[in-house]
Amino acid sequence: MNNLHPNLQLTPFPTAIPAWQAPIVAGDLQLICHKVRESGGRLVAIWGRDRREAGFVLHVLLLTQTGLLCLNLPLSRQVPSYPDISRIFPSANRMQRAVYDMLGMAALQAADQRRWLRHAAWADDSFPLRKDFDAQAALRSDLDDYPFVRVEGQGVHEIPVGPVHAGIIEPGHFRFSVVGEKVLRLEERLGYIHKGIEKRFESSTLQQGAKLAGRVSGDSTVAYAWAYAMAAECIADKTPPDRALWLRALFLERERIANHLGDLGYLGNDVAFSFGFAQFWILKEQVLRHNAALFGHRYLMDAVVPGGVSVDLDEAGKKVLSEECAMLTREVQLLRRLYEEHAGVQDRFIGTGRVAPKLAAQLGLCGLAGRASSQAWDMRVQFACAPYGMLDVQMATHQNGDVAARVNVRFDELLESLRLQREIMANLLGTGDLAYPLASLPANGFGVGMVEGWRGEVMVAIHTDAAGNLDRVHPHDPSWQNWPVLEHAIIGNIVPDFPLINKSFNLSYSGCDL
């Protein structure tokens, strides 16, 4: 990592994964990003921070072959602007726009300067994450008019969809430009469920923040709670008890199992194979019921806390989960065969919504969808935090990048998670401490946590103030990277295949709208 720039002063984070930070000057930002990109690295997240008299800081989190690198770029109070990096990492586009909306920190000469998270709920020149933001004075209830890119030509027409969608799904707006049935262009507009989560963190205690982190995206509650706890433990420079780490891995794999089961059911449903929906959702319901009976919550909310976990698993519970594992393995293998042998299902899956590996690499596609397009990154494999280092996780990848590939990766990961669940239980012996007390954090701390959620890498960064309170918390969902790629996946497909393609990615709205 030292070869990225001669002046890079790297400081390691005392966190569960390999991670470093380094202060940089504005002139070096693009250079370092270029180097990371050339060596096969990726952009994870961008966020800003208002430090009052000391100005602003821009944080750019990159993932290299050796670990995470957080670049800290101080900006002046008067001119809080920085060099655009969206030409190097296309996924930076929306993140930079969100940083402007929240803090008024601008990416100089960025091609796309449209607002992203802000629609019209607050004044154009107020920025909610600035410490002097006056909510009452800033509120507006105008209707905004977003400048969508128009596609023109003979026979081209637009189909506006949302924000209220036709299914049971989160809100967002999709603008399709089509000729006949064929999609020429899709443009997404999100931000509808922006509910001030980042601002809310700033008035939360460490414990309240853990609950809030677990509700950034409800389907990934374990991943967020773990990433948040990891960031807090990084600041406190402490490691949870072994038993807590094993239980966290168990919860994270159960979250992956439940979500993959649900998605595989819906992917069947979306190609009119309702048998698949019925079968997979029976399996998912059994997982959820076991969660409720053994851990007190169907989705394991609040099971991971800073310092450890809040619930244990006894021998009787292990027996229940062992039997569940055996049943699920058997049923999933059977259903996989039925999906694979069904000509109608495969006809709809194969070749639909294809993202070629080269495009995936260019755009930074990550997580499950990335692995289905040859982007072989899995935090549990390359940067395994405890206890994953002892589990030898087998990464699932595919090179076709179509709906069928994303279905295949889900099947492979589901079966691997069931294997991991068995291994984890074999390591959960006797009893032990579930957590060490972590009531508050040291002052002026900065920590990062990142885990491989079912959708992809979930990252949480925490900054504390001079009193050790939460000064700034930034949760990052892998959907930030993947939403823009969905716009490419649909090109040339027909409109009725959009629900199927969309479901095969199954991205989070709440996790990005914040």
The residues binding another protein (CB under 8 A) are 119-122, 128, 133, 135, 138-139, 141, 143, 163-164, 166-171, 191-197, 199-200, 203, 208, 211-212, 215-219, 221, 262, 275, 278-279, 281-282, 284-285, 288, 292, 298-299, 301, 334-335, 337-338, 341, 508-510, 513
> DSSP 3-state assignment of 10?
coil
Pick from 257, 198, 237: nearest CA to 14: 237
Q: With respect to another protein, which residue has the nearer C-beta, 79 or 139? A: 139
C-alpha torsion sign, points 279, 284, 290, 292: negative
Residue 39 Cβ vs another protein, minimum distance, rounded to whole Å: 36
> DSSP 3-state assignment of 2?
helix
- The CA-to-CA distance between both ends of the chain, in Å, stands at 32
Angle subtended at Cα 147 by Cα 486 and Cα 502, rounded to the nearest 5 degrees = 15
Q: With respect to another protein, which residue has the nearer C-beta, 348 or 488? A: 348
Q: With respect to another protein, which residue has the nearer C-beta, 85 or 458? A: 458
Q: With respect to another protein, which residue has the nearer C-beta, 236 or 507? A: 507
Q: With respect to another protein, which residue has the nearer C-beta, 121 or 361? A: 121
Residue 36 vs residues 2, 4, 68, 91, 155: alpha-carbon distances, Å = 11, 7, 11, 14, 43
Q: With respect to another protein, which residue has the nearer C-beta, 275 or 436? A: 275
Q: With respect to another protein, which residue has the nearer C-beta, 156 or 193? A: 193
Residue 198, C-beta contacts closer than 8 angstroms, at least 6 positions apart: 102, 128, 129, 472, 473, 474, 475, 514
Residue 165 vs residues 83, 162, 241, 359, 499: alpha-carbon distances, Å = 37, 5, 44, 28, 11
Work out whether strand 42-50 and strand 156-161 pair parallel, antiparallel, or are unpaired.
unpaired
Q: With respect to another protein, which residue has the nearer C-beta, 8 or 451? A: 451
Residue 188 Cβ vs another protein, minimum distance, rounded to whole Å: 15
Which H or E element spans position 412? helix 403-427
Residue 164 Cβ vs another protein, minimum distance, rounded to whole Å: 5
Q: With respect to another protein, which residue has the nearer C-beta, 133 or 436? A: 133
Residue 221 Cβ vs another protein, minimum distance, rounded to whole Å: 7
Angle subtended at Cα 346 by Cα 401 and Cα 257, rounded to the nearest 5 degrees = 65
Residue 474 Cβ vs another protein, minimum distance, rounded to whole Å: 16
Residue 377 Cβ vs another protein, minimum distance, rounded to whole Å: 24
What's the CA dihedral at 262, 263, 264, 268 to 10 degrees?
100
Q: With respect to another protein, which residue has the nearer C-beta, 251 or 509? A: 509
C-alpha torsion sign, points 110, 114, 119, 123: positive
Residue 137 Cβ vs another protein, minimum distance, rounded to whole Å: 10
Interatomic CA distance for residues 485 and 244, integer angstroms: 36
Residue 337 Cβ vs another protein, minimum distance, rounded to whole Å: 8
Interatomic CA distance for residues 267 and 279, integer angstroms: 12
> Alpha helix (H) ranges present in 112-214?
135-138, 197-201, 206-213
Token pair 């946590």 is found at: 449
Q: How many CB atoms are located within 10 Å of the residue 423 CB?
A: 17
Alpha-carbon Rg of the chain, whole angstroms? Answer: 22
Q: With respect to another protein, which residue has the nearer C-beta, 86 or 221? A: 221
Residue 108 Cβ vs another protein, minimum distance, rounded to whole Å: 27
Residues forming beta bridges with residue 21, ordered by sequence position = 11, 70
Interatomic CA distance for residues 393 and 379, integer angstroms: 10
Q: With respect to another protein, which residue has the nearer C-beta, 138 or 434? A: 138
Residue 170 Cβ vs another protein, minimum distance, rounded to whole Å: 5
> DSSP 3-state assignment of 122?
strand
